Amino acid sequence: MEIEEIEVEKAVNGKFAFIDVRTVEEFKDFHIPKAYNVPLFTKKEKELISKIYREKGEREARFEAVKVVSPKIYSIVSRIDEIKKKHENVVVYCWRGGLRSLAVASFCQLAGIFVFRLKGGYRAFRQFILDDMDKILSDKKIFVVYGPTGCGKTKILKDLMAEGFPVLNIEGLAGHRGSVFGGIGLKQPSQKMFDTLVWAALRNCNNSPFIIVEGESKRIGNLYLPDALWSKMAGGNKIVVSMPLRERVKHSLKEYSPDRFPSKIFLSAIKRIERYLPPKIYLQIKESICKKDYEKAIEILMLTYYDKLYGRSMPNTDVSTEINAENLIQLKEKLLDYFKDIH
């Protein structure tokens, strides 16, 4: 009985349904977008089998695997049969295209359910997406929108995306707003999952001659932008936007909604940049947070920290366009007009 393998590119471009047979924990950490999870082992079972393999060898480990899996074969095959009824073509995968995917595909074959097996597993998929990002970006124009904290760049780009513009929402994919407070109320994916989400978003922009992104540093929270994207952004068309300080403070208050969280969360965050602030300024910010005077805290932070930081990181050469606006609504209208001309 031979199980048919399929290359990653063919499976992805053929719009196959993917079934991940790794543990629930592995799946949560990273997986192919829209994949189903039908785990062969639990985390404890996998750890036990790995321990037996190290201590007693492969034969004993395989016997233990058979013992563990045997009672679950019917439920695994039944679940895959349900998925197969919804999708014409199904491919199962594990980490390296090894025994786990082979076992599940064999069970299905014995039950008369035909499934493909992903050659090389998730590891091959990961290499494919890193290479594919280079291909997708090779002939694309990139427009990078820069601006100081509070200009509402992320919100405006989300609005542009909703109107059909090819926007890559990096902060949304990264689960981080890019500032010292950027992770509050959000959760970041693993690096592998982030790379996968970026790739999937880029593929959605495949039919457009250009892509719009927000100016970011290489690192966002605990994550790093894929090299292909970072390089393309560095050579992209740079748009610098600006708004009055009062409007930026107003938008930041709305964006972060600080009253939803205890002040100790913000005090903990501000502690991480204490060494970059004059002692007097740090104490003023800390005191404002303790009093829940977040408007004052944000204003001081912008003037003494973020504006200086962004002043060093924003491009001062090769700027394609500068857009000044009095408020968020006006800025959105101006950006909308700008990209409509390109569109």
DSSP characters over 125-152: HHHHHHHHHHHHHHT-EEEEEE--TTS-
pLDDT at 316 over 70: no
The region of weakest confidence among 20-24, 62-66, 243-247, 252-256 is 252-256
**Residue 238, helix vs strand vs coil:** strand
Q: Which two tokens stand for residue 210?
A: 């250009």
Kindly report the length of the chain: 343
Q: Which residue has the higher pLDDT, 131 or 184?
A: 131
Give the tens place of pLDDT for each residue, 217-251. 898 888 999 999 999 998 899 999 999 999 999 99
pLDDT for residue 18: 98
Mean pLDDT of the chain: 91
pLDDT for residue 1: 63
Q: Which of 253, 337, 319, 242 is nearest to 292 (CA)?
A: 253
Give me the phi and psi of 91, to 5 degrees please. -130, 130
Q: How many helices (H) and strands (E) does the chain have?
A: 17, 12
Position 166 confidence tier, pLDDT thresholds 50, 70, 90: very high
Q: Which of 98, 83, 89, 84 is nearest to 41 (CA)?
A: 98
Domains and CATH numbers, the chain: 5-127 (3.40.250.10), 139-342 (3.40.50)
Q: Which residue has the higher pLDDT, 266 or 83?
A: 83
**Whole-number percent of the chain with pLDDT over 70:** 96
Parallel, antiparallel or unpaired: strands 219-220 and 223-224:
antiparallel
**Residue 215, helix vs strand vs coil:** coil
Q: Is the pTM here over 0.85, yes or no?
A: yes
Does an H or E element contain 10, and which?
A: helix 8-13
Position 310 confidence tier, pLDDT thresholds 50, 70, 90: confident
pLDDT for residue 183: 64
pLDDT at 124 over 90: yes
The region of weakest confidence among 23-32, 120-129, 321-330 is 321-330
Rounded Cα gap, residues 107 and 114, in angstroms: 10
